Each structure stands twice: as structure tokens, then as C-alpha cells.
Amino acid sequence: MSKVIEVVEGLAAPIVEELNLELVDIEYVKEGKNWFLRVYIDKDNGVDIEECGVVSEKLSEKLDEIDPIPYNYFLEVSSPGAERPLKKTRDYEKAVGKNVFIKTYEPIDGEKTFEGVLTDFNGEEVTIDILIKTRKKSIKIPMEKIANARLAVTFS
């Protein structure tokens, strides 16, 4: 599966860059009996359906040319949404000052899930300020211990 993602990334990146968009993530997953190739794109003010359509059309042409996927699949091009994943260094840098949700591989201070404001990222660890009742606590999480992270929408 990672080979498919690698090939698709190589095809999608130039298309997305040409349109001044960001390639956020690529998933190739089987759900039930169907395979899905999901390509997530974004830009500062968000993407619209027309931009997703253009990327889908251009990427579909490239995929048809080299046919790197042995199964029938559904191609979906969309925005990552408000709770976009944080995967790349740039994602973490842009998320400083924003509310995030982080899940770790192993407990840190007895917990494996954290939600709060990402206050610092130095490339090797993140610092997140969480609220415990009315008390604010800063937690440092090494990057290698992060299983997944995403922006978190809060309603106040």
C-alpha cells in the first residue's frame, strides 16, 4: 500500500503545486469490498469544489496513463476538513497557537490523549497547554511518541 501512496504522491504533487495548493495527505484504504484512494488538498482560505474537481480530473488522467493500482478503486479529492491531520513538520509549525488533539503510543503523565493549545514545536517535541479543571498544565510530547495528531475544533 505504501508503494501506491508513494506513486500517487509523485503524480499529485506537481498538479497540486501548479494550482498553488497544498497536498495534505493521501490514503489508500479498503472499506468493505471497495478500495478508496483519497487525496486531501488545502490552501490558506480552504479549497472549493471546483479546485477539488480540477485536481481529480488531472490526477485521474495521470493515474490512467501509468495504471499503478491493480484493483478497481474510487478516487476522492477533498479538503482535509476543519480537523485536518498534523503529519508534516510544516503542519505542526502552522498549528502553533491553535487547539489540537494528540494521541500517543504510550502514556505520558498517565494519559495517552491530549487536547489543548499547541504552544511550541521545536522539531523534536511539541508543547501543549491543557486545562485540568481550572488549572493550565504544559505537557511536552516527543514527536516519536505521537501516534496521530490533528487540529481540534472548539466551541466556546
Q: How many domains does the chain have?
A: 2
Q: Are residues 73 and 94 in the same domain?
A: no
Last residue within a domain, chosen from 47, 78, 109: 78
* 83 within a domain of the structure (yes/no): no
Tell me the whole-structure pTM to 2 decimals. Answer: 0.79
Last residue within a domain, chosen from 78, 105, 128: 78
pLDDT single digits (tens) 59-116: 999 999 998 888 899 999 999 888 889 988 989 999 999 999 999 999 998 999 999 9
Last residue within a domain, chosen from 39, 57, 78: 78
* 84 within a domain of the structure (yes/no): no
Q: Are residues 53 and 93 in the same domain?
A: no
For position 156, what pLDDT does the model report? 64
Q: C-alpha angle with apex 56: 3 to 64, nearest 5 degrees?
A: 55
Helix axis angle, 2-18 to 49-66, nearest 10°: 130
What is the helix (H) or strand (E) element at residue 79, kind and residue range? none
